[in-house]
């Protein structure tokens, strides 16, 4: 004998929603890599937080201030893989992905150093719908490779 279990779905994730969620992640790191710090900060919710390098940055102004401190001789490339939506509702979503980071550093004589892989991080972006736009409510990650 079989027992059917009823499942109530409160919110169906549409393809356009998944694309919108992924777009926030991709645009954030693209903004970092082209050093458009204002655009990166604008993708964070007004009261959003970013757990970055042992510090919790809260709000757009804190994110922008931290990004403006980045070394101008340092060029980065952030590669996003294995992106998936863990769960979503009408005004919140959790996106998980791996982030592989590379950097080069330009020497005083203008020579650009060889790219170096910094590692792979297991990341979580909790998104919130704010003023009709998906924004980062909380950004966090943990080192994946090399393992902590």
pLDDT tens track for 28-58: 999 999 999 999 999 999 999 999 999 999 9
Burial of 132 (0-12, 13-18, 19+ CB in 10 A): exposed
Distance CA 90, CA 103 (A): 37
Question: How far separated are the first and last CA of the chain, in Å rounded?
Answer: 48
Sheet with 116-130: list strands edge to edge: 55-58, 44-52, 133-145, 116-130, 92-105, 74-88
Q: Which pLDDT band, with edges at 50, 70 and 90, does 129 fall under?
A: very high
Q: Which pLDDT band, with edges at 50, 70 and 90, does 12 fall under?
A: low
The 3 state secondary structure assigned to 29-70 is HHHHHCCCHHHHHHCEEEEEEEEECCEEEECHHHHHHHHCCC
Report the candidate in 83, 82, 89 with the shortest Cα–Cα distance to residue 127: 89
Length of the chain: 148
| Beta-ladder partners of 81 | 98
Q: Which pLDDT band, with edges at 50, 70 and 90, does 16 fall under?
A: low
**Lowest-confidence range among 4-8, 14-18, 81-85, 109-113?**
4-8
Provide the pLDDT for residue 6: 44
Instruction: Give strand ranges (E) for the chain.
Output: 44-52, 55-58, 74-88, 92-105, 116-130, 133-145
State the pTM of this model.
0.88
Q: Which pLDDT band, with edges at 50, 70 and 90, does 22 fall under?
A: very high
């Amino acid at each position: 004998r079989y027992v059917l279990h009823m499942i109530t779905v409160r919110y169906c994730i549409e393809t356009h929603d998944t694309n919108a969620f992924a777009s926030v992640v991709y645009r954030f790191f693209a903004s970092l890599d082209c050093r458009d710090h204002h655009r990166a900060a604008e993708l964070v919710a007004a009261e959003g937080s970013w757990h970055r390098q042992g510090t919790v940055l809260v709000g757009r102004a804190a994110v922008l201030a931290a990004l403006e401190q980045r070394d101008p001789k340092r060029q980065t490339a952030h590669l996003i893989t294995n992106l998936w939506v863990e769960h979503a509702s009408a005004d919140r979503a959790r996106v998980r992905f791996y982030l592989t980071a590379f950097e080069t550093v330009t020497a005083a004589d203008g020579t650009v150093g060889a790219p170096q892989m910094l590692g792979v991080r297991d990341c979580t972006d909790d998104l919130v719908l704010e003023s009709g736009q998906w924004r980062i409510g909380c950004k966090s990650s943990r080192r994946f490779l090399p393992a902590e």
